[in-house]
Amino acid sequence: MSFSAVIYFLVLILTFYCTENHLAEVAFLSKYKCSCPVRFCNIFCSLSLSFLEYIVVFNGYFTAKARSDFISSALRDVDAVNWRIVRRDNPASDYPSDFEVVEIRQDTRSSLLTLQDHPYIKRVTPQRMVLRSLKLTDRNDTRWVQKWQSWQSSRPLRRTSLSLGSGFWHATGRHSSRRLLRAIPRHVAQILQADVLWQMGHTGSGVKVAVFDTGLSEKHPHFKNVKERTNWTNEKTLDDGLGHGTFVAGVIASMRECQGFAPDSELHIFRVFTNNQVSYTSWFLDAFNYAILKKIDVLNLSIGGPDFMDHPFVDKVWELTANKVIMVSAIGNDGPLYGTLNNPADQMDVIGVGGIDFEDNIARFSSRGMTTWELPGGYGRVKPDIVTYGSGVRGSGLKEGCRSLSGTSVASPVVAGAVTLLASTVLNRELVNPASMKQALIASARRLPGVNMFEQGHGKLDLLRAYQILNSYKPQASLSPSYIDLTECPYMWPYCSQPIYYGGMPAIVNVTILNGMGVTGRIVDKPIWQPYLPQNGDYVDVAVSYSPVLWPWAGYLAVSVSVAKKAASWEGIAQGHVMVTVASPAENDVSNTGEMTSTVKLPVKVKIVPTPPRSKRILWDQYHNLRYPPGYFPRDNLRMKNDPLDWNGDHIHTNFRDMYQHLRSMGYFVEVLGAPITCFDASQYGTLLMVDSEEEYFPEEITKLKRDIDNGLSLIIFSDWYNTSVMRKVKFYDENTRQWWMPDTGGANVPALNDLIAVWGMAFSDGLYEGDFTMADHDMYYASGCSIARFPEDGIVIAQTLKDQGLEVLKQETAVVENVPVLGLYQTPSDGGGRIALYGDSNCIDDSHRQKDCFWLLDALLQYTSYSMTPPSLTHSKNRVVPPTGTDRPLPQRLEGNHLYRYSKVLEAHLGDPKPRPLPACPHLSWAKPQPLNETAPSNLWKHQKLLSVDMDKVVLPNVRLYRPQVRPLSPGESGAWDIPGGIMPGRYNQEVGQTIPMFAFLGAMVVLSFFVVQLTKAKSKPKRRKPRVKRPLYLQQQQQQTPHSGKNPTV
């Protein structure tokens, strides 16, 4: 009887163990049920035979050459066959394949038969073309809306975690369902072929990765090597409450289900972001110090914010990379607007990552545009550095399982994981540093077609090529971008959108020097400009400025290109190169020669055209545009409460990009003035365009502009709102800096503008208006603009009926005001004098928050200012009113106690009111002395400019065919197959940590059991000894009677 009890116990344990597993499975399935494609029926497929194309399937995987050999040998016997192999240009074409698409034009039947006879050919089937039509609403739009909804809860000026808002996180069904049919759904690590490196035994071991995020729970089943968790926030927990940190850590190092890149890496979890999405610079400072002390190798920061002038933070990031921490950061989720890059991803020493979807389109949310640190005098750097999958990527869920997320905060850990894995492949770890890793990533990246460099950087991450480059890497310097081809469209947009000409503002290209030789470096002597004489290089003047010290690991090299006087009426292409030698102290060199040097060439190719006529040339005033950071410069559209700051740079290549494109398409040449108005030759330009200016004006500028306009320069001003009561109203308490923020100007600095245009008897008012109206048959929207208060009586003024937004903001009342003067046109009286056009709102030409554009108005105004053609639709408008004299209302005064002088280039603090500084000297470029070469440039500058002395073929990948991920088309119902653990990873990773404990318990139970069995056998051999112990045999009998009822004792 006892023996059977033992068996029962054993069965019990086994069942328990099994049910547990079974339960887990059920949980799995139910999880998938919820992410099953509900909208799946919305996608229709239609199949049609693609004419003359056949899929030839082979018996095994063969290289492209072998496949073509087989086909040609098979078809050799068929006479006069006209056939060709259809090229498939995709990343998979580098690897062996088991099929080929062949186009056969003649004698199809017989050639098909002969093809099928070939021993290596399995079958031949006609190619079918699959057409899919989507009945979904445009997913981009939904994404966009959701994104803005998510923003409302958090203020954008502080650092935010860069994944799309929580509302979006849960909407996985829509995205996964859509992708299920179109792309082969695999994990991002496998799509990037991390499994090839895993098979070679590289799994990230020995690399310390820090994840700065929302924490990680203690016993997450996906992680096996969490070395340490630390909390730097004011919340007393180490666990993740949002799922953001868990997801990010999972993409880097998850070992099961949705596998990460480097499961064996040492994870250091830094909790720097609270569940309420709050974080402070001071938390980061302390946490970064700890990361330096712990000698972290790779640090992922999926967090960013617009404040690149947070000096303690920026300095700390430099310090971090200077201590050899490879920092990877997300570029931001503020796309598709330009000028939206986030810090710290926009720093030269950081790897800034943008997002793409699985169809290789730049994700709509991915921030883009040049960096805006260098404005107004210089030009921005190229960022992001690289892009990778950031839309619908699968990673670890908060407690267990996987989830899909989108955002650049997803793309960043993809690169961080790849970097970790790459670092673990390098034998000599000394060679891995922030610069060499970045060099390898950008040199290996695959460029996406049709996307410019300010959106995609150097292209899409290619893990295996980066591996090859890194493993044959020799310390050197390199440039980003590696060449300047101002004719290459669309990659080199905006440079390629406008040729250069004599007399124009020089085109500035801000190149980043990456120095893999050491944390500090310097440029030896001076960069040399070497024009190619056969290619008209002498028609170009080049000036170069550069960082005096390249620290940490990087520096800038600003190349200004201008046209020589002798090419004033010449048209053509000119080429040359700039040669730079970088030197670094040799630290680990035993011979100790003192310095290592590396010389890089920067090819330059420009298109020159004859100088366009004055009327075609527009000068954009950048100098007087101020922005956040450093100060609080409020949004130009007060309706956009969730985005209170004007932070996109206000440049023609950032948030005025559409306007620039429009002006280019109308044949205008637009140049940028990054210096005071005193610094340009007005006789060269038709129109000076001042949009949304926040800066004050030097007295010298005011007099010079008056003189210029008397001499024929025209002026267009797009102003914006300025009302001191509203400015006081829109102040707010900033939790991030723990102080009150009071705007220093309105949307524009109207009092300063009024000083500028007072000489012509013009002024803007402090009214604040909003509303829709129609002007010259165009629908217009006036988004928080001012009105014209004074205008000369012989000018043309157009008025509209608008709502008083000032009243709405201050008292929540609505009032309609009739005849608000919004537009004014004026011809100055002097002989040959220029014209002036004023408009009260800049929002309709600004890309950020624009609802209706008014490029037609800009065209009309330019027609007026450049060609003196008064647009009849405006002059004969019924809305034309008598110009206001403005005597009834005082003009707006500057907000009392404003701190504009802190951020202004014009004002300086003074006892009493701030006073203008002395006028600074105009920037002067010293042109490099050319050293002409009698040389011809290579035809393809891009291919020519890869990393030096890197022989890609030297590092051989293992036979990829063996370890090739199993690509197979998935049918929609198969979605659950994604998460079967251990599909690709080597066996040992399939051992789950969570399973070891039950295993131990089971083993323990077995030990107990065997002990028992031994006891039992002992007891059986001595049955006599037991009998006397039984004192009440009656009970025993009872029990024996009961046993049949239990039905589990076979002995009875």
Partner 1 sequence: MVFRRLLRKRWVLGVVFGLSLIYFLSSTLKQEERTIRDRTLLEVRDSDHHIQWKIKFILGNSSRQISQCRNSIQGKSLLTDELGYVCERKDLLVNGCCNVNAPSSSQHVCTSCLANGCCSIYEYCVSCCLQPDKQPLLEHFLNRAAEGFQNLFTAVEDHFELCLAKCRTSSQSVQHENTYRNPQAKYCYGESPPELLPI
Which residues are catalytic, by number? 213, 244, 409
Residue 635 binds partner 1, judged by CB under 8 A:
no
Residue 1033 binds partner 1, judged by CB under 8 A:
no
Segment contacting partner 1 by CB under 8 A, of 115-123, 145-153, 240-248, 279-287: 279-287
Closest CA to 357 of 320, 313, 410: 410
Are the CB atoms for 439 and 419 separated by under 8 Å?
no
Among 52, 85, 278, 322, binds partner 1 (CB under 8 A): 322
Are the CB atoms for 727 and 740 separated by under 8 Å?
no
604 pairs with which residues across the strands?
A: 484, 576
**Which DSSP state fits 381?**
B
Helix intervals (H) in 666-817: 699-710, 724-729, 750-757, 805-811
Closest CB to partner 1 among 148 and 1035? 1035
3-state helix, strand, coil in the chain (%, to 5): 30, 25, 45
Considering the complex, what minimum distance in angstroms separates the CB of residue 477 from partner 1? 17
Residue 40 binds partner 1, judged by CB under 8 A:
no
Considering the complex, what minimum distance in angstroms separates the CB of residue 991 from partner 1? 15
Are the CB atoms for 345 and 384 separated by under 8 Å?
yes
Are the CB atoms for 605 and 487 separated by under 8 Å?
yes
* Of residues 989-1018, those binding partner 1 (CB under 8 A): 996-997, 1000-1001, 1004-1005, 1007-1009, 1012, 1015
Are the CB atoms for 221 and 991 separated by under 8 Å?
no
**Cα 131–136–137 angle (5° rounding)?**
130
Closest CB to partner 1 among 134 and 1007? 1007
Sheet holding 540-546, edge to edge: 477-480, 507-515, 554-563, 540-546
Residue 365 binds partner 1, judged by CB under 8 A:
no
β-strand pairing of 266-271 with 226-231? parallel
Helix intervals (H) in 690-799: 699-710, 724-729, 750-757
Residue 209 binds partner 1, judged by CB under 8 A:
no
Closest CB to partner 1 among 918 and 1050? 1050
Q: Is 912 exposed, middle or buried (0-12, 13-18, 19+ CB in 10 A)?
A: exposed
Cα 278 to Cα 800: distance, rounded to the nearest angstrom: 44
Considering the complex, what minimum distance in angstroms separates the CB of residue 324 from partner 1? 7
Residue 1034 binds partner 1, judged by CB under 8 A:
no
Among 282, 931, 959, 1010, binds partner 1 (CB under 8 A): 282
864: helix, coil or strand? helix
Residue 1037 binds partner 1, judged by CB under 8 A:
no
Among 41, 45, 80, 293, binds partner 1 (CB under 8 A): 293
Segment contacting partner 1 by CB under 8 A, of 76-84, 120-128, 737-745, 964-972: 737-745
Residue 908 binds partner 1, judged by CB under 8 A:
no
**Residue 509: in which H helix or E strand, if any?**
strand 507-515
Considering the complex, what minimum distance in angstroms separates the CB of residue 179 from partner 1? 37
Cα 892 to Cα 890: distance, rounded to the nearest angstrom: 6
Closest CB to partner 1 among 283 and 721? 283
Closest CB to partner 1 among 306 and 506? 306
Are the CB atoms for 635 and 337 separated by under 8 Å?
no
* 481: preceding bond cis by omega (within 30 degrees): yes
Q: How many residues bind partner 1 (CB under 8 A)?
A: 69
Closest CA to 247 of 171, 302, 304: 302
Among 33, 109, 738, 1045, binds partner 1 (CB under 8 A): 738
Phi, then psi, of 429 in degrees rounded to 5: -65, -20
Residue 264 binds partner 1, judged by CB under 8 A:
no
Residue 587 binds partner 1, judged by CB under 8 A:
yes
Among 237, 940, 949, 1040, binds partner 1 (CB under 8 A): 237
Cα 695 to Cα 679: distance, rounded to the nearest angstrom: 16
Residue 273 binds partner 1, judged by CB under 8 A:
no
* 872: preceding bond cis by omega (within 30 degrees): no
**Which DSSP state fits 918?**
P
Residue 103 binds partner 1, judged by CB under 8 A:
no
Residue 93 binds partner 1, judged by CB under 8 A:
no
Considering the complex, what minimum distance in angstroms separates the CB of residue 546 from partner 1? 15
Closest CB to partner 1 among 236 and 1027? 236
Are the CB atoms for 166 and 184 separated by under 8 Å?
no
The pair of three-digit structure tokens given for residue 250, joined into one six-digit string: 């999972």
Among 83, 99, 151, 232, binds partner 1 (CB under 8 A): 232
Considering the complex, what minimum distance in angstroms separates the CB of residue 235 from partner 1? 10
Among 33, 87, 236, 1045, binds partner 1 (CB under 8 A): 236
β-strand pairing of 714-718 with 835-839? parallel
Cα 825 to Cα 791: distance, rounded to the nearest angstrom: 9
Stretch 370-409: interaction string toward partner 1, x if CB under 8 A: ----------------------------------------
Residue 546 binds partner 1, judged by CB under 8 A:
no
Residue 552 binds partner 1, judged by CB under 8 A:
yes
Stretch 510-539: interaction string toward partner 1, x if CB under 8 A: ---------xx-------------------
Residues whose CB is less than 8 angstroms from the CB of residue 958 and which lie 6 or more positions away in sequence, other chains included: 196, 199, 200
Residue 144 binds partner 1, judged by CB under 8 A:
no
Among 66, 292, 496, 925, binds partner 1 (CB under 8 A): 292
Site of tokens 């399935």: 29
With the CA atoms of 9, 14, 15 and 21 taken in that order, what torsion angle do they form, in degrees rounded to the nearest 10?
150
Residue 11 binds partner 1, judged by CB under 8 A:
no
Residue 20 binds partner 1, judged by CB under 8 A:
no
Segment contacting partner 1 by CB under 8 A, of 100-108, 317-325, 469-477, 658-666: 317-325
* Of residues 959-988, those binding partner 1 (CB under 8 A): none
Cα 615 to Cα 685: distance, rounded to the nearest angstrom: 7
Kindly list the residues in this chain that would bind partner 1 in the complex (CB under 8 A).
2, 5-6, 9, 218, 226, 228-232, 236-238, 280-283, 285-286, 289-290, 292-294, 307, 309-313, 315-316, 319, 322-324, 519-520, 549, 551-552, 585, 587-590, 592, 594-595, 736-739, 902, 996-997, 1000-1001, 1004-1005, 1007-1009, 1012, 1015, 1019, 1032, 1035
